Structure 1
Amino acid sequence: MLRRKLINSIDLINGIRNIQRLTSGRLLTCKLKHTLIAKKSEINIEKEIKKLQDINSFTYRTHTCGELRPIHNGESVTLCGWVQYQRMSKFLLLRDSYGVVQCIVNNNQINFNDIPLESIVKINGTVSLRPTNMINSKMSTGEIEVLIDKLEVLNVADKVPFNLRDHQKPKEQLRMQHRYLDIRFPDMQKKLRTRSSMLHNMRKFLIETNGFVEVETPTLFCRTPGGAREFVVPTHYPGLFYSLVQSPQQFKQMLMAGGVDRYFQVARCYRDETTRPDRQPEFTQLDIEMSFSNLDHIITMIEQLLYKTFTKQLPNPPFKRITYAKAIENYGTDKPDISYDLRFKNVSHLFSTDDETTLSAFVLPYPAELGKLTAKYKDKIKELKQKNNVRVILNENVSKELSNDMKCHIHSIVGEKKAFILALGDRENVCTCLGEIRQQIAVLLQSRQLIEINKDIEPLWIVDFPLFTQGDNGLETCHHPFTAPHPDDLHMLESEPFKVRSLAYDIVMNGNEIGGGSVRVHNADLQEKLLQMLNIDASKLMHFINALRSGCPPHAGIALGIDRLMTIACDADSIRDVIAFPKSHEGKDPLSGAPNFITEDDKKYYHINIIK
């Protein structure tokens, strides 16, 4: 929140407020500005004064706990908040959403010994300077205290299950069971306000600068073929169910057919998938679609949006861009972390044979100073090579398993002073395996300070994804069935489908996929052809195909994962840390215990029979 960024400037702001008061409230005519580090912009002081005034409007209080400074000395104030701490029947720390202030009993008739911690109180008092030897430099309000004239208990709290002090944070499970308490921690307050501010700025960029229209679309819909598992919602119609949307994909494309032209939505999405640190069963995405736009239009617009609204400094656009094939060949993943420079080298030509067998060989070079790998890392690599069915040769075993000539050939490619890990086998499996090994080696190198990690955020676009992958039952789409094929590859659609690229694009930040999109199929015949190739029943999508046949313009779009973006913005370990009420790693709600059993009456009403 901007207010917290103004801690070093609040004395100046309060000084101006005092001058205004001394001049009978007349605003100063001079255009006084103070430079603040908030994306290196100048913020008008009068606007900041108004924000401080606005934050105390329509409320009991006259000031927040966090804004009081020596300039308020002698002022009568009304504060509201939680009792964070009390001692000696005289001192009380009062906390609200904006800070903490020390309050002292100024009236012997006031007794707060019986007020439990985290109770809500209203205090009327007078601001007073602390004695010099009592100043607390660790508190933003540490130069003053409030002498209590009147204390009113607004709500008495029961004994809370944990203390709300940052240095005594309990385990996550307990905090999630009492999330309403966890949200009171200053870091959670900051995360939620940062999230609100970023979404506000994104809306301003889209609506005010680029003419987008925010449209809400339904969450109750029919099942989308070919996508992730969806949550089903029973109805009172026997055998009929809704599905919760995994994204507004069909709706936003139909909005393009409807002439909305530029759409966006802060959308709630649902997927019945296993939870991970970067995945929740319900999540939020910034959903965007544009008519008469191509891949470069979308990418350029998103670069500007992120550059202007993301809370951390990003490089000047354009961001780096590599193909899917290059990402796999260099890093073994389509979401590479390029904050450190560990790249594969393709040495397949050194292992070529006269027969038709195709053997892929890639090496991962790294600083030789690392020495031998520990048993812990060897075990991890053993698991990875077994999972991917590839042969892996560690640097310490190279002399045993490779000839001197082969060893010299590889060193001539990676460098004489480099150690390396060699992987051989099927190309896709080799790259996948080596990509996971790369992450393990990077952690080890970083712990030994043998690798330079770029602490700046480095966004990266991945383009030219394949349109199809091989599934258990035939072709599957890499993204979704509505992704357009690359026009240069259309001639191979039926004859060599796995060589067809798509007009899809993902954006990655330091190894985290934070968004993805594509140019869409706007031609109904081509869409039906793709559905047929994917063995998807087109009759279940006739509402959508009819929209394409109605004269649908060319269009493209993208969705940015707000939860993942916020995890990066707040340096959080998991997206659970930046969501107000997240689900656990099991996909359950520790707060309410959901999902819950339903009553027999509900089962009858919804025609549900539980099979054990």
Structure 2
Amino acid sequence: MAHRRASVLLLRARHVLRFSRHAAVPVSTRPISASQSIFPHVPASSSHFYSSTTAGQSSFSIRSHLCGELSSSLVGQEVTLCGWVQYLRQDLFVILRDFSGLVQVLIPQDESQRELKDAFCGLLVESVIKVKGRVRLRPEGQKNTNMSTGEIEVCAESLEVLNTCRKLPFEIKDFVKKSEALRMQYRYLDLRSSQMQYNLRLRSRLVMKMRDYLCNVHGFVDVETPTLFKRTPGGAKEFVVPSGEPGMFFSLPQSPQQFKQLLMVAGLDRYFQLARCYRDEGSKPDRQPEFTQVDIEMSFVDAAGIMALIEGLLEYSWPEDKGTISTPFPCLTYEEAMRDYGVDKPDTRFGMKLVDVSETFQHTQIEFIRDAIVQPGGCVQAICVPDGAKHLKGKDMEFLKQAAKTQFNQEVDCMLVRAEGSIKSPLGRLIPDTTRLQLLLKMRANAGDLLLIAAGAQERVRPLLGKLRLQCAELLEGRGVPVRDPAAFHFLWVVDFPLFLPKEDEPEQLESAHHPFTAPIPEDAHLLYTQPHKVRGQHYDLVLNGCEVGGGSIRIHNAAQQIYVLENILKEDPSLLSHLLEALDSGAPPHGGIALGLDRLVSIIVGASSIRDVIAFPKSFRGHDLMSHAPSLLPEEELRPYHISVLWPSAKNGQGDKP
């Protein structure tokens, strides 16, 4: 395994290229006026979103400037601003907002301008207005350092009300808390917040730079693949679309996997797409029924080449206000990740690694530990939670024990390390001093630490402690102990996954660990025909802060091998993929690729708790659009052309009721 990992790293080193960050080349636009050469500074350090073109964000617009771009360099100039009324303060001034930020507009107090003052004083919050005025410095002592425009104000000379605003269900202010359902129902209002504006603009900028890197620097071709497709064997549940022909249906693609492989057969060589993908699996904080992935495929490439490409892509497109990332990324094998962290997508921002202490308990008299060790594949493993005994309470220990019991049907023992080196635990009196000292030494435990110990089958103990490791981090952070730096970005490659895994409901049957098109690593290829459960795949996952943000593989490009995997190992009907198999038998080059989850990647970059906060119009937890009330019912007459009738679920009385 060490030789295999060294080979992967060596191959990657050959592919790693360094490119300096290039500023985007501005598109020439016709300038409106010379005063449009300065660009805004929006909240949350977003000034890098705007290029330094002459016309900029106010080109082709009835405004001359953005609210957030005004500064002392414009003092004395006349400006025209458009935006929303954020505040109306004591009939003295209005705070005007657009996407770039806020600016203070001074209401004239002279009697000669009474009509203009009355118009300002009659404004409603969130009304849309156009203001003309002159920029001036604020009087001494009235500067606001919390606003990017806090040095200046605009003396209003004219006002035009472009639209009034009804009473809104919530205020458009970042400090106002709204329920998730209310935010989804009035998404067009929620998007007015500075945080949502920042998220969507960062996403746009990231995508633009990714496209530039792939297409202009490395010669990728942006190709749109079909949305209407056919059912794919295995994988997630798909959305079905009626075709108008009796009994014939399309499926929305889970990914463009087959199409991008066909493009390699077609000789396109390098393909890229911002692909819309669909999975009928409801919604979770990091999943949506429809989502976007950065989809990539290359011919004549190996895993090291794909990995180096993605490292360069992320380094090139990384937001400037988020610091820098260093490449190449660290790399772990699947076995190493499970051994040290108990999960195949470890968060490496903190320690608490799993430690095998089976040898320490080799001669123990504790019955359940002894029974676990003697079983094939049995082990005793532990994690050390630094200062866990100091900060975690009794109820926290009970929570961890209950989680182990309910989620893994496993017992876990909590050992508190005392100052004199003794252990407070129900098992403490059963552990001899020599065993206790060996345990503390192996775990590098100090006074005040907490040890979590579990015994059993390795395939159950590792995931258990991996889960408890993350829960301990959350509990400590909940008590104010810094564990995971929210401003740190730890990328990690995980390689050498099993190619197949036992099915949960039929353990004697195998299923693809990722998808059926992944090629085995060359040294394991012969095991396909004798011991397929031992085959490792040429798959690679990209992990960021404990979340999988990308995954790809080198593909099977031999038709005979692909047929064997489908028919003999996965027990799938190869005829469902006849088009792909025929293509592979038509001179398919070696090829591989990857897909990055754009929504998940952006959500981690901006620190959002859910990917819904980086998608303009996401679905709810149930997969519904609360704003437009989709999905919705269709009358029978509209279903008839599709030869569809609805069979309503039976109620308790045996009668079918419509919702």
User: Given the two structures, how large is their TM-score scaled by the length of structure 2?
Assistant: 0.83
- For the pair 1:270 / 2:278, whether they are aligned, the reply is yes
Correspondent of 1:215 among 223, 236, 244: 223
Q: What is the deviation of 1:272? A: 1.1
Matches within 5 A, 1:329-368: 329-349=339-359, 350-351=361-362, 357-367=376-386
Structure 1 counterpart of 2:367: none
Matched residues in 1 for 2:94 and 2:393: separation? 55
Structure 1 counterpart of 2:409: 389
Give the superposed CA RMSD.
2.7
Matched residues in 1 for 2:131 and 2:481: separation? 56
Structure 1 counterpart of 2:545: 510
Matched residues in 1 for 2:152 and 2:444: separation? 63
Q: What is the deviation of 1:554? A: 0.3
User: SS where residue 168 of structure 1 aligns?
Assistant: coil
Matches within 5 A, 1:75-154: 75-106=77-108, 107-110=113-116, 111-154=119-162
- For the pair 1:324 / 2:334, whether they are aligned, the reply is yes
Q: What is the deviation of 1:287? A: 0.4
Correspondent of 1:375 among 383, 391, 395: 395
- Larger deviation, residues 213-222 vs 131-140: 131-140
Q: Is the Cα–Cα contact under 8 Å of residues 514 and 565 in structure 1 kept in the other structure?
A: yes
Matches within 5 A, 1:364-513: 364-367=383-386, 370-371=389-390, 373-395=393-415, 396-400=425-429, 402-415=431-444, 417=446, 419-447=450-478, 453-454=484-485, 455-471=487-503, 472-473=505-506, 474-513=509-548
Q: What is the deviation of 1:268? A: 0.7
The amino acid across from 2:165 in the alignment is A
Matched residues in 2 for 1:48 and 1:193: separation? 13
Matched residues in 2 for 1:402 and 1:593: separation? 61
Correspondent of 1:73 among 67, 72, 75: 75
- How many percent identity over aligned positions? 45
The amino acid across from 1:73 in the alignment is V
- Residues 391 and 137 (structure 1 numbering): CA distance in 2 closer, same or farther, change over 3 Å? closer
Matched residues in 1 for 2:478 and 2:171: separation? 34
Matched residues in 2 for 1:416 and 1:165: separation? 47
Correspondent of 1:541 among 574, 577, 580: 577
- Residues 590 and 219 (structure 1 numbering): CA distance in 2 closer, same or farther, change over 3 Å? same
Matched residues in 2 for 1:177 and 1:379: separation? 35
Q: Is the Cα–Cα contact under 8 Å of residues 389 and 425 in structure 1 kept in the other structure?
A: no
Structure 1 counterpart of 2:655: none
- Residues 128 and 411 (structure 1 numbering): CA distance in 2 closer, same or farther, change over 3 Å? closer
Number of positions where the alignment pairs a residue of Structure 1 with one of Structure 2: 577
- Residues 118 and 292 (structure 1 numbering): CA distance in 2 closer, same or farther, change over 3 Å? same
- Residues 414 and 137 (structure 1 numbering): CA distance in 2 closer, same or farther, change over 3 Å? closer
User: SS where residue 427 of structure 2 aligns?
Assistant: helix
Matched residues in 1 for 2:299 and 2:142: separation? 64
Matches within 5 A, 1:293-308: 293-308=301-316
Q: What is the deviation of 1:373? A: 4.6
Matched residues in 1 for 2:645 and 2:400: separation? 45
Matched residues in 2 for 1:416 and 1:49: separation? 55
User: SS where residue 493 of structure 1 aligns?
Assistant: helix
Matched residues in 2 for 1:590 and 1:600: separation? 24
**Could you report, residue by residue, the CA deviation over 1:72-94 in whole angstroms, capped at 9, with x for unpaired residues?**
22222211111222133442221
The amino acid across from 1:570 in the alignment is V
User: SS where residue 236 of structure 1 aligns?
Assistant: coil
Q: Is the Cα–Cα contact under 8 Å of residues 338 and 510 in structure 1 kept in the other structure?
A: yes
- Larger deviation, residues 81-90 vs 409-418: 409-418
Q: What is the deviation of 1:456? A: 2.3
Q: Is the Cα–Cα contact under 8 Å of residues 388 and 476 in structure 2 kept in the other structure?
A: no
User: SS where residue 201 of structure 2 aligns?
Assistant: helix
- Residues 604 and 137 (structure 1 numbering): CA distance in 2 closer, same or farther, change over 3 Å? same
Q: Is the Cα–Cα contact under 8 Å of residues 370 and 445 in structure 1 kept in the other structure?
A: no
Q: Is the Cα–Cα contact under 8 Å of residues 396 and 475 in structure 2 kept in the other structure?
A: no
Matched residues in 2 for 1:259 and 1:480: separation? 23
Q: Is the Cα–Cα contact under 8 Å of residues 390 and 426 in structure 1 kept in the other structure?
A: no
User: SS where residue 287 of structure 1 aligns?
Assistant: strand
